[in-house]
Every structure is written in structure tokens, then in C-alpha cells.
Amino acid sequence: MSAIQGHDTISERQLCALCFAALFSPLIRLLPRLPAAFAGRAAWLSPLAAAAAGALWLAFLRAFLRRRAEGEGLFELAERCLGPAAGRVLAALCALWLVFYGGVMLRVSAERFLSTIYANGRPTVFIAVMGAAAGWAAAGGLRQLARTAEVLLALILLAMGAVFLFSLTEVEPARLLPVKPGDAGGILLGALPMLDMMSVYAYGVFLLRYVKKTPEEGRRPVRWMLLLTAAATAVLVMTVGAASAELVKDMQSPFFLVIRSIAVLGFIERIEAVVVGLWVAADFLLLAFVWLIAGDILKLLAGGRSRRPFAAGAAAVSIAAAFAVADNAFFLRKAAEYGIPAVNLAAAFVLLPALFLVGRARGKL
């Protein structure tokens, strides 16, 4: 029976909106600091370099997904390419990774929130509240989460656009220019965090089983990638241009700290509230996104009829992991900025192409 039924049916546009909204969490967390460390004043060009590589990856992904049947997502494609046993093992490993990923991201979100807003607080309450809210959303229907993502995404883009316009008065061209040929290597290294953000879309391929197949499938993600590139460029221009790459690369939360220094008509508290709201919305969507996918995979592995208990279970384990991971902020930052992105990049840019090649070699695609 097709997986497309009832409350879980969504369009490719809604899936892209959900994925894109989830990407804003790593965008705000990773983007300003790492490209600034790698590329200096030329960091604002790193998203453009990433977009070129991302376009090639999306072209491959479209060729791969063109071969999916109605009601198939990455779970079914893995079974088809590798065989039922190996495909299910791969899917199980992805589910376990997403549960771990969600736990670390929940803890990082709590630490970032407390370090910038409530310096003397403890992460316990934030982890419990955010985890419960995102877990409840993940256990609900996919269509409801996608619609929520569409609304929150519109608000996020509106808020970012307003913050960017307000910050332009603080941007100094001398902090962004000149760009020299010798900056090319740093620009390419600075593109890696952007590619890591794009790689999160690979996990969204599991949810294609709920998207009706159309001849136009695969074109819409390119449009969203261009929007992501514009947003990433704007974040780098407003942070590096306002504070300089030397300062940004040493800040724990450069996006917030730079925006916080911008006074608009004396209402700085309102700007802070907007940015904090943007943070919380983006983190909420990322957590709900990964827990819903993990729950869906576990449901298929167990032969269950409802995703709800599996998504709730995935969220519960992630919340427990968030409490258990090291309190060492240095360890968390290294894991979030280097360890997790490395695995995500490998999954998107190595594992998926390998899966495609194996499927083609076995005559399954």
C-alpha cells in the first residue's frame, strides 16, 4: 500500500519548506564564526562557493530520486539498492544517528541560550521545555509539522530581513573588501559549513515516501538552495561587516552578539527579542524534524502502524542524551562544529552517491 495517505500527505514544496526551516538552526550556529575563521574578510563569498557544489549534489540527487517509485523514500530505496537486510541496517544506523544528533543539538541550544541570555541559569529547564515541545510536534502528523514550518519560516525570513536592513548602517565595506586571489582557499574551506547545512536535506529524503511523485520533482530544492545562499550571505555580511572577521571568529555566538550591539531608535531590547525568537523557532523545527524522521524509520523497522510512539521515544532518548552529554562547553562546541558536520557531510556526499552506484551496479535503479 502506498505510504501516501491521510494526515501524512505533503507536497514537495512543504517538504522543502520544512527542511529549509530546519536549516536555520545550523545556519545561525555555524555560519558566522567558521567561515570567518577560514576566509577572513572574504567569508561572505563562501556561500556562493558552496552553492556551486550544492547545485551539483542536487543534480545527482534528482537523478537518484527520479528512479524512486510512488510511495518510496530513502528507507525503501536503501532496501532496493542494498537488499532488505543491509538496507534496514543502514536505515537503523541513520535513526540512531538522528537520535544522537538531536540530543547534542538540544544541549548546544540550551548552552547557547543560557550563555547569551541567562548567564547564571542551568540548562535543565530549557532542555525539558524545548525537548517536550519539539517531541510533541514530532509525534504529531507530518502535515501539521510542515504547515507549522511554513508559518515559522515566513516569520524567520521576515525577522532576518528586518535585522539585516537595520544592520546595514553598521556594516563597513573595508571589513569585507578587498578580496584577493589568495583568499580562494579560505573561501572554499568556509564553504564546508554551508554544505553541512545543505546535507541535512539528505535526511529529509526519508520523508519523500509521503510526497506524491511528479515529473517536476527535484527542481524545487534548487530554488530553496538559492534562498539559503542569500540568507547565509546576508548573515556573513551583517556579522563580519559590522564586527570584522577577527572578532567574529573568536565569539561564541557572533550572530546574536553582533546584532545585540546594533541600536535602532533606542529599542535594542526589541531587536534582542526578535533574534532570540528566531533562535528558538529554528532550534524547535530542527529537533522536531530529526525526531520525526527517526520515529518514522523506527516505525518501519518495527512494522508499526503509528509513528507517534516511536517519535516520542526518539525524543525521550535524545532528551536523556542532552542531560548526559558532557557539561564541558569546549567539548560541546567541537562536537557541534566539527564532529557532527563531518558525519552529515559523509552521509550526504559519500553515502548517498555510494548507495546510488551500488543500486545501479545491481540493476535495481
Contact call for residues 312 and 299 (beta carbons, < 8 A): no
Q: What is the pLDDT of residue 290?
A: 96
Buried b / exposed e along 338-349 (16+ C-beta atoms within 10 A): eebbeebbebbb
C-alpha dihedral, 19 to 20 to 26 to 31, nearest 10°:
150
User: How many Cα atoms occupy the beta-carbon half-sphere of 187 within 13 Å?
Assistant: 20
Contact call for residues 134 and 287 (beta carbons, < 8 A): yes
* Assigned domain for 106 exists: yes
Query: Hey, what's the cell of 135?
Result: 517531541
Query: Which distant-in-sequence residues (6+ apart) come within 8 Å of 333 by Cβ?
Result: 108, 252
* Assigned domain for 171 exists: yes
pLDDT in tens, 300-337: 999 988 999 999 999 999 999 998 876 666 677 778 88
pLDDT in tens, 204-259: 999 999 998 887 777 778 888 888 899 899 989 988 998 888 888 887 778 777 77
* Assigned domain for 65 exists: yes
Residue 10: phi and psi, rounded to 5, are -135, 165
Residue with cell 500527505: 9
The partner residues of 10 in beta bridges, in order of sequence, read 211
* Assigned domain for 10 exists: yes
CA angle 198, 199, 201 (to 5 degrees): 80
Kindly report the CATH number assigned to the domain that includes residue 12. 1.20.1740.10
- Find the domain containing 234 and state its range: 6-361
Say whether pLDDT at 3 is over 50: no
Q: What is the pLDDT of residue 265?
A: 44
Residue with cell 505510504: 3
CA-CA distance, 52 to 4, in Å (whole number)? 33
Q: What is the pLDDT of residue 125?
A: 86
Residue 328: phi and psi, rounded to 5, are -70, 115
Query: Hey, what's the cell of 74?
Result: 530513502
Q: What is the mean pLDDT of residues 94-102?
A: 95
Number of domains in the chain: 1
* Assigned domain for 1 exists: no
Q: In whole numbers, what is the pLDDT of the chain averaged over residues? A: 86
pTM across the whole model = 0.91
pLDDT in tens, 132-191: 999 999 998 899 999 999 988 888 888 788 778 878 888 899 999 999 989 999 999 999
